[in-house]
Structure 1
């Protein structure tokens, strides 16, 4: 039962990664852009 639970969690994590990959990429680019902007000010 424990193995089955981990198996379901794995698929849930993969599904979450697939659905959130686009928003995560946008968030990453947003953070990277802010970091570059902060370095430019200093």
Structure 2
């Protein structure tokens, strides 16, 4: 969560929403920082 909060989303909440949705769908019960980095693409 802290990693995603620290990224610059340039005011684009849709981009953040898509990343969170992909994390929910594509990962296991626990989302790791590596998962967040992979799906955030930043």
Query: TM-score normalised to the size of structure 1?
Result: 0.38
Higher relative contact order (CA 8 A, sep 6+): 2
* Greater fraction of residues in helix: 1
